[in-house]
Amino acid sequence: MIQARIESISEKKMVGKKIKMSFSNIQTPNLWRSFMPQRKQITKALNNNLFSVEVYNTANFFESFDPSAEFEKWAAIEVSDFKDIPPEMETLIIPAGEYAVFIYKGRGSKASNTYRSIIQDWIPKSKYILDHRPHFAVMGEKYKKEDPASEEELWFPIKKK
């Protein structure tokens, strides 16, 4: 079974770009191509980590899963405050709360099976349910895009059953 660590986080302030998309119409590469050339304009970054954030519009998005249902996908960086936001960028607050954190190793394009396993196996067998807050992946120093040795953290919002 996949291993997770449970973490409580305080509110996170994010600056980045977003796009509406669905699992049947993935726009992630376009979003990152738009964001990456402009990311250095973000002056209040807390570190070099990149955040891929999903904001689902309903609490039961995965219970009645529809691959054509739209959600917001963000390419973002965590910031200390919302002063001096670059043009064409927006702000997002990830509320405080508990998260189940999983380490994913491998090509980013191959992560869908891991996500499916977490949603369909780990969560139902755990003492948690998904909470209605943003999901996110943190791509830090070990992240190497499509390199098989790449590593990122997958953060799922949870609350006790």
Q: What is the pLDDT of residues 112-161, one digit of tens each?
A: 889 989 999 999 999 999 999 999 999 988 888 888 899 999 999 999 99
Q: Which amino acid is at 7?
A: E
Q: Which CATH number fits domain 5-160: 3.30.450.20, 3.20.80.10, 3.40.50.170, 1.10.357.10?
A: 3.20.80.10
DSSP 30: H
Going from N- to C-terminal start, the domains of the chain cover 5-160
Q: What is the pLDDT of residues 65-89, one digit of tens each?
A: 888 999 999 999 999 999 999 999 9
Q: What is the pLDDT of residues 6-16, one digit of tens each?
A: 999 999 999 99
Give the CA distances from residue 109 to residues 58, 82, 85, 104, 128, in Å, rounded to whole numbers and listed in that order: 25, 31, 30, 12, 27
Q: Nearest CA to 154 among 67, 59, 52, 75?
A: 52
